[in-house]
């Protein structure tokens, strides 16, 4: 996963109805946070777990 990738949130973690079908853009390289690999998503504060995201092709 790298900056610029388009992703959607999968069902590994709870996802609100408004975020279920939203397409997010990765805004950072992955980094470790408390033992979990995370990335920054444009429009979302903080990091989001990489294993909770699926890359989509446009």
pLDDT tens, residue by residue, 2-11:
999 999 999 9
Identify whether 30 is part of a domain: yes
What does the block give as tokens for 26? 């990765």
Identify whether 27 is part of a domain: yes
What does the block give as tokens for 21? 């079908």
Identify whether 1 is part of a domain: no
Tell the burial category of 7 from Cβ atoms under 10 Å away from its Cβ (0-12, 13-18, 19+). Answer: buried
pLDDT at 42: 98
DSSP code per residue over 1-58: --TT-EEEE-TTS---HHHHT--EEB-S--EEETTEEEEEBTTSSSEEEGGGEEE---
Q: What range defines the domain where residue 48 resides?
A: 6-55
pLDDT at 2: 96
- The count of domains in the chain is 1
Tell me if the pTM is above 0.85.
yes
Identify whether 33 is part of a domain: yes
């Amino acid at each position: 996963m790298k900056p610029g990738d388009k992703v959607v949130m999968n069902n590994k973690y709870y996802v609100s109805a408004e975020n279920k079908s939203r397409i997010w853009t990765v805004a950072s390289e992955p980094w470790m946070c408390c033992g979990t690999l995370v990335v920054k998503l444009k429009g979302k504060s903080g990091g989001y777990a990489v294993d909770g995201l699926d890359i989509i092709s446009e």
